Amino acid sequence: MNPAVAPSEPSLAITLPTALDGSLGTNRANGRHKQIAADTDVEAVRLWLAEYSASPHTLRSYRKEAVRLLLWATQTLAKPLSSLTREDFLLYERFLASPSEDWADPDRPRRGGTRRLFEGPLSERSQHQALGILSGLMTYLVSAGYLAGNPLALRRGRTTSARRTRRVERYLDHALWDHVLASVEQWPRLTERDEQHHERSRWLIRLLYHTALRVSEAASANAADFYQRRGKWWLHIIGKGGAEGEVPVSDALMVDFARYRPFHGLPPVPSASETGPAVMSIAGDDARHLTPAAIYLIVKEVFRRAADALDATDPVGAATLRRASTHWLRHYVPFLTMSCN
C-alpha cells in the first residue's frame, strides 16, 4: 500500500486474518488495469471511503455498511470480501432482514472490535439502501481494477409500483404548507429565548422549502454564500461529494432573510466579507454552525407543533405532518426554480 495516501484515508479499524484479507480473493482482477495500490480488502475499502471524506454523514453511513459486510463475510462464511459471489450476497440479503441474535445483542458495546452492528432486522427500505451502497463499493473496486466483477450488478431491481407511489407522496401540499407557516407564527414567545427560537425556526423552514437544500448544505451555508448577479439573488452551495453549485433565491426568501438577520444585530443584506453562518445558533453565535442533526430536529419540531394544532380539524393532515421530515421539503425545487426566473 502506498503510505503517501494513508494520512487522508478514513479510519477503518478492522484487522482480518491474513488468509481472509482478500489478497488472494477469487474475484480479484489480478493486476489488470489496476488504478489503486491496495493489496487487501480493507485497504481497498479505505480508498473507496476516502472519496467521501468531504461528506461526513455519507462517510459514516458508507463505512457502517462496509464494516458489516467485511465482518459478516469473514466471520460467517470464512471468505474475504473479494471472494464473494452472487449466491453469497443472496445469503447476505436474508441476513440483513433477520440478523442473528449475537449480531444485535444489546449487551454488546456500541464501539470497539466486539461492538453491536445491528439494532435488529433492517426494514425493506434500509435493506435496499444498504445493498445499493455496497453495489457502489463493488462497482468502484471493479473500476479501480481491484475486483474482476460486481456480483451485485446481477441483482434485480425491486422497486415496486406501490413503493414508487409512496415516494411521490412524501411532500406537503400547498394547504398543509400554508398551515405550517401559520402555525409557526402562533408559537408562544414569552421569553427572549422563545423569541430567538421562533425567529430561527421561522427562517430555517423557509430556507429549506424555498431552496430545496439538503440538511448538510443548510448546516454549512454561510451568510456570504448569498450573492447578487444581474439583479438576481443566488446561493452558492457545496453539495454531495464536494460538488459546488448555485441555487436561485426568490425575492420573497430574501425578505425573510432580511427579517431574520436584524434580530441578531446584523444588516438586512449579507456582505461578501461576512464569516457567520446563514442559520445561527439560538443565541446568534456567528462563529458556530448548527449541525445537520440539530436542523433535522428543529424541522421535526415545526411539523410536530403544526400537527398538534391540526389534530381536531384535520387528523389525516396532522398524521401527514408527523411523518414529514426535512427531505419532504426538497420535492418542490422544480416549481420554485421556475418561479425564480
Query: Residue 19: exposed, middle, or buried by beta-carbon count in 10 A (0-12, 13-18, 19+)?
Result: exposed
Count of other CB atoms within 10 angstroms of residue 63:
19
Identify the pLDDT of residue 176: 86
pLDDT at 164 over 90: no
Q: Return the amino acid letter for 71.
A: L
Between CA 221 and CA 204 the distance in angstroms is 12
Average pLDDT, rounded, for the chain:
82
Q: Which residues pair with 233 in a beta bridge?
A: 228, 249
Residues of the chain within CATH 1.10.443.10 domain(s) are: 170-340
CATH topology of domain 170-340: hpI Integrase; Chain A (1.10.443)
C-alpha to C-alpha distance for 37 and 3, rounded to whole angstroms: 10
* Beta strands 244-249; 232-238: pairing state: antiparallel
297: Cα within 13 Å, side-chain hemisphere: 6
Q: Is 222 exposed, middle or buried (0-12, 13-18, 19+ CB in 10 A)?
A: middle
pLDDT in tens, 295-323: 999 999 999 999 999 888 888 889 999 99
Question: Residue 301 has what pLDDT?
Answer: 95
DSSP state of 289: P
Q: How many helices (H) and strands (E) does the chain have?
A: 12, 3
| pTM attached to this predicted model | 0.51
Q: Give 338's pLDDT tier (boundaries 50, 70, 90).
A: very low
Mean pLDDT, range 252-263, rounded to an integer? 92
Grouping H, G, I as helix, E, B as strand and the rest as coil, residue 122 is coil
By CB atoms closer than 10 A (0-12, 13-18, 19+), residue 330 is middle
pLDDT at 58 over 90: no
Q: Quickly tell me which residue has 445561527 as its cell.
A: 280
